[in-house]
Structure 1
Amino acid sequence: MDFARLTEELKAQNWRSADAETLQLLLKMSDRTAEGWLNKTDVEKLDCAALVQIDRLWIERSKNQFGFSQQRLIWLSAGGNVGQYNPKIAEKFGDRVGWRDRGKWLTYNKLNFSHQAPKGHLPAATGNGVSGSVWGGVAAISKRLQSCRPVELAIARQEYYANCSDRSRDRRCLLKKAAERWGETPDWGGKGIAKLFDELERELSQRQWIEADKITRILLDRYRQANLAEFKDSDSMKVIPCYLLKPVDDLWMEYSQGRFGLTAQSEVLFDRKIFPMPKARPDFPTATATNTVLGWNKLPDADPDSNHIHKPYSPAFNAVDPQRIPKGFYPYDMGYSYYTYGSGYNGEWRFYLNPACGFNPSS
């Protein structure tokens, strides 16, 4: 599959031409160019590697403004299920992405082919409501994209380790084999990475914040544990790769309407002048202030008769509207040293994430 034209159109921000090329690529991979539309079976059989690449090009060139994955998150947050077209959900979706105006669907020619369009506005040639080119529209494409998650993660992982050779001494490359010994591939802690992402998304969609937080720790902490065990490096949070941190953050941000996630935490810490960090390691007042502004100090104290040495979760911070919980409170579980560090809750974990991922900038 040749993505050169799509890449060029997206790079030049020729959004309408890129939208048309996207549909042509999907038709071509399904051998449906003559028909000009995709049926249910066609969508279910779309090549995962090609679909993921198309989506990534849209995401990267639009700086997360457009793409199938953005549309999938919006469809879900509107109350929809992937693979299930629902007219009422489609209307909610259309209102959010700007495909509808004043209760009516826009024609394709009336769409906003600029970067100022609402998030998820494009691609539109594959959407229902404004186009009939894909059976089931966003719901159908979203289901196929979700089923392609293992391929998407494999591609991202391959790129992360692209320059690693058997002789490489780079810590990232050395950790690859260590992480594999700890069960990163093909199975991660008894559950595949892709399956854990599905579980995380399910819990988030139901506002089961506590369970989602625990799954987040399982997803991310294997890298930290492997690094600590293999290399005895206490500064081990930095090796959690961006290809895991970023999609985890995207899910938290979407389902909490921007209240939870690493990005939400960064926003709070910037607002309270805690970020950017002037030092490599936070001092005690900084760590204390972090616990306060993120709401971590609001948790009840641990039962003195309990063997657990971390603070328990508060039921008030679960299954409720995100607005009722301090912004940036989740993810929280990574600081449970009962599971990770070994001695009480350590809020400093938030300062030691992989600096290349942009979640903990320093001055």
Structure 2
Amino acid sequence: MMIHGRQAIGLGLLVVGCLSACQGPWFVAGADYKPLTEQLQAQNWQAADALTLQLLLRGSDRVQEGWLAEADVVALDCSTLLTIDRLWTVHSQGRFGWSRQQQIWRAVGGGDYAPAMAIAFGERVGWRELSTPQWRSYEMLTFATDAPVGHLPATTGNGVSGAVWGGVATLGQRLQACQAPAMVTLLREDYYATCDRTPSADPCRLKAATERWGETADWGGVGLPQHLTELEQALAQHRWIAADNITRILFDHYRQAHWAEFGGTDGHQLIPCYLLTAIDSLWMDYSRGHFGLTAQAEILGDLKLLPAENHPLSREQMLVFYQAVGWPERPPDRFESPYQSAYDAVSPEQVPKGHYPYYMGYSFSTYGSGYDERWRWHLDQSCGFNSQIRG
């Protein structure tokens, strides 16, 4: 049953950034996730896809009907959605999951539902035949690890089975409603849940360092939710420079902490997925896919500038990217303003795609930056960045 729905698609899901803690517990909000986890661990993707739909149907008391209406999707339990997506994301190494599909939707344009957008999305995730072109039947999908990125889950998809009214569109709306900034605080607790047992692990050492630098449970009295709320307000008003500075503050906790704890210039490697993805989601949402880490990764992929593992980038390669996103060849020093005023308080289309986030990591001449200028090339693929292009 092919259903496209009329709902606006506001895909602001936070990828739940835990890698080890997401193996359990099996029961969250009364649901049993062990069967789904076992199928995902075994890479039995079709069985996992069916179990995903069943979890949503049981949670909505819609097993007999076999599909979810719009009202059912609106009422879906947030912890259920986030837990299922977390399991898909982790066990597919970032290739599958609703948050993965969200990134691709944004990459093809995002915004409200439109037939052309749905077609572009379907072609990108392998739900449409490029040669025909026709939507593939569910039986013709690829239930394998090498399926196109974002190919699964498909029972909740838009265009192949339609067991959820509006598919990706309505799920995206509900996921956005579930991403209240306070949720990030809960995800932070989840990310560090094992630190009492493994305090020597790098993320746990970083946790202790970030807390010394101000990332207490409420981020130094200001509050992580408040930072994200301020970021969202600035983005909604197209105050791009203000939003970029808030982004720098959020990332800077990890830059400072990593420098203090580990030294070196690869502090980005331990920025938790929950924070990277929360910030990226806000940038992508309010810029209509024009700004954000995902937008920058798209440009890097188009320019074929995502290197193989441990492959150094030349200065010439970096300059190609800088030119594409409208960055000057040489970043300003610490005595100059890094921003072009013409690129603030305007519609995103008036600024080169991928221009923001701009300051963090680019101003590599800043004293004690603690970030190598190449950090955007090496974002954690398990967070859903860059693997989409590499894969």
Same fold (TM over 0.5): yes
Distance 1:73 1:141 in 2: 14
2:82 aligned residue: 52
Q: d(CA) in 2 for partners of 1:94 and 1:313?
A: 37
Gaps of 5+ in 2: 1-30, 285-291, 382-391
Instruction: From the two aligned structures, give the one with the greater helix fraction.
Output: 1
- State the shift of 1:3 in Å: 0.8
Return the alpha-carbon distance in structure 1 between the equivalents of residues 92 and 177 of structure 2: 24
Quote the residue 2:171 is aligned against: 141
**1:320/1:269 Cα in 2 relative to 1: closer, same or farther (>3 Å)?**
farther
Identical positions, percent: 39
Aligned length: 320
Shift of 1:188: 3.8
Match of 2:37 in 1: 7
1:69-80 pair list within 5 angstroms: 69-80=99-110
2:339 and 2:141 map into 1 onto residues whose CA distance is 49
Contact 2:265–2:372 (Cα < 8 Å) also in 1 = no
Three-state SS of the structure 1 residue aligned to 2:360 is helix
The whole-number CA distance in structure 1 between the counterparts of 2:38 and 2:194 is 26
Return the offset for 1:172.
3.4
8 Å CA contact 1:238–1:352 kept in 2: the answer is: no
Q: Secondary structure at the match of 2:99?
A: helix
Corresponding residue SS for 1:114: coil
- Would you say the 8 A contact 1:300–1:311 is kept in 2? yes
- Equivalent residue number for residue 69 of structure 2: 39
Distance 2:318 2:367 in 1: 10
Code of the residue aligned with 1:219 in structure 2: it is L
* Contact 1:182–1:226 (CA under 8 A) maintained in structure 2: no
* Deviation of 1:237 (Å): 7.6
Quote the offset at 1:41 in angstroms: 1.7
Query: 1:198, 1:120 → 2: CA distance?
Result: 30
Evaluate the alpha carbon distance shift between residue 136 and residue 187 of structure 1 in structure 2; reply closer, same or farther with a 3 A threshold.
farther
Matched, 1:216 2:247: yes
SS of residue paired to 1:69: helix
Aligned pairs for 1:186-201 within 5 A = 188=223, 191-193=226-228, 196=231
Work out the CA distance in 1 between the residues paired with 2:134 and 2:298: 28
Deviates more, 1:55-64 or 1:189-198: 189-198
Residue 297 of structure 1: CA displacement?
A: 6.4
Higher relative contact order (CA 8 A, sep 6+): 2
Report the TM-score, using the length of structure 1 for normalisation.
Answer: 0.68
Contact 1:299 1:314 in 2 (8 A): no
Mapping 1:161-176, distance limit 5 Å: 161-164=192-195, 171-175=205-209
Asked if the contact 1:128–1:138 (Cα under 8 Å) also holds between the matched residues in 2, the reply is yes
Partner of 1:90: 118
Distance 2:265 2:297 in 1: 30
1:245-324 correspondence to structure 2 within 5 Å:
246-247=276-277, 252-259=292-299, 267=307, 270-272=310-312, 295=322, 298-299=329-330, 308-309=335-336, 311-313=338-340, 319=350, 322=353
Distance 1:28 1:241 in 2: 35
Find the counterpart in structure 2 of residue 277 from structure 1: none
Q: Is the 8 A contact 1:59 1:67 kept in 2?
A: yes
| Change over 3 Å in CA distance of 1:210–1:182 after alignment to 2 | same
Q: Give the equivalent residue in structure 1 for 2:6.
A: none
The verdict on how the C-alpha distance between 1:14 and 1:182 changes in structure 2, with shifts beyond 3 A counting, is closer
Shift of 1:38: 0.8
Quote how far apart the aligned CAs of 1:13 are.
Answer: 1.2
* Residue in structure 2 matched with residue 279 of structure 1 by the alignment: none
For 2:210 and 2:240, the matched residues in 1 are separated by: 30
Report the Cα offset of residue 141 of structure 1: 0.9
Residue 20 of structure 1 corresponds to 50
User: Could you tell me how far 1:113 is from its partner in structure 2?
Assistant: 1.3
Deviation track 1:189-240 (CA, whole Å, cap 9, x = no partner) reads 783437747977x79xx9x986764443132124456889xx8998798496
Residue 116 (structure 1) shift: 1.9
Q: In 1, distance between residues paired with 2:57 and 2:312?
A: 50
TM-aligned CA deviation for residue 76 of structure 1: 2.1
> In angstroms, what is the RMSD of aligned CA positions?
4.6
Instruction: Select 1:334's aligned residue among 349, 360, 365.
Output: 360
In structure 2, the partner of 1:283 is: none
Rounded to whole Å, the distance in 1 between the matches of 2:380 and 2:106 is 26
By how many angstroms is 1:16 displaced?
A: 0.9
Contact preservation (8 Å) 1:300, 1:314: no
1:63 maps to which residue? 93
Give how far 1:146 is off. 2.5
Q: Corresponding residue for 1:285?
A: none
In structure 1, the residue matched to 2:16 is none
1:111-122, aligned counterparts within 5 Å? 111-122=141-152
Counterpart of 1:100?
128
Range 264-273 or range 66-75, more displaced: 264-273
